[in-house]
Structure 1
Amino acid sequence: MSKYLLNKFLYTIDRDADLVERYREDPAGTVTWWESELANRILNCPAGESSTWLSLEPAEREALSTHDHVRLFELGAHPFLTLTLFIAMFERDNTEPLEYQKAFGQRLTHFTLPYPDIST
């Protein structure tokens, strides 16, 4: 499992408003596109610098493709990366202040210490 690549997906999508919308509307298609086009690009390097060996594991691909933030947490995705991206995608669907954030946290309450390892 590549927590690095999982977190890289969350990080890169969250930093581009167009990609946030693309991921909201077509999560599976965005994951497939991102993995083939951006996953192996080296962050903060000139265009053309890339690796060839990184790929998401099937469980990671499935969780990303279904917006399953609980499963992403179980897999070791960093909760702050997941939360900020999911706020950008879904907070607008709620009417009460912090309604989405509270629901996000509520779905994680079954976890007890120690939490899944989020180190990369």
Structure 2
Amino acid sequence: MSRYLLNKFLYTVDRDPALVERYREDPRGTVTWWEAERANQILNCHVPEASTWLRFADVEREALASHDYVKLFELGAHPFLTLTLFIAMFERDHEPLGFQQEYARRLAHFSLPYPDIAT
């Protein structure tokens, strides 16, 4: 598993409104496309360079494809990155602060120490 790759996905998708919508509407397709086309691009590199080894583990891919932010948190995805992306996708479907409250409710069973989020 790669917390780096999970966080990279959350970070890059969250910063592109078109990708946010694509991920909302077609999560599995977006994850498959992103893994094939973007996972190995070097982050914030202005010249076309890429690595070749980064891949999601099956459990990571499934959690992303099913919008399972509880599982992503359990896997060590950074909670701020997860929360901001999922707010962008689902806040419109809730009352004001409703999604944030739902997020907190669904993560309430975690206690300290939280899963390690170091990359």
Give the alignment's TM-score, normalised by structure 1: 0.97
What is the distance in 2 between the residues matched to 1:97 and 1:22? 23
- 1:37-82 deviations in Å (ceiling 9; x for gaps): 0000001112420000000111000000000000000000000000
- Match of 1:50, SS? coil
Letter in 1 for 2:68: D
What is the distance in 2 between the residues matched to 1:20 and 1:47? 24
- Match of 1:21, SS? helix
What is the distance in 2 between the residues matched to 1:6 and 1:37? 15
Match of 2:103 in 1: 104
Aligned residues: 119
Match of 1:80 in 2: 80
4+ aligned runs moved over 4 Å, structure 1 = none
What is the distance in 2 between the residues matched to 1:47 and 1:21? 27
Tell me how far 1:97 sits from its aligned partner.
Answer: 1.6
Match of 1:50 in 2: 50
What is the distance in 2 between the residues matched to 1:108 and 1:118? 15
What is the distance in 2 between the residues matched to 1:5 and 1:39? 7
Match of 1:113 in 2: 112
Match of 1:17 in 2: 17
> Which 5+ residue runs of structure 2 have no aligned equivalent?
none
Letter in 2 for 1:37: E
> Which 5+ residue runs of structure 1 have no aligned equivalent?
none
What is the distance in 2 between the residues matched to 1:102 and 1:85? 15
Superposed CA RMSD: 0.6
Give the alignment's TM-score, normalised by structure 2: 0.98
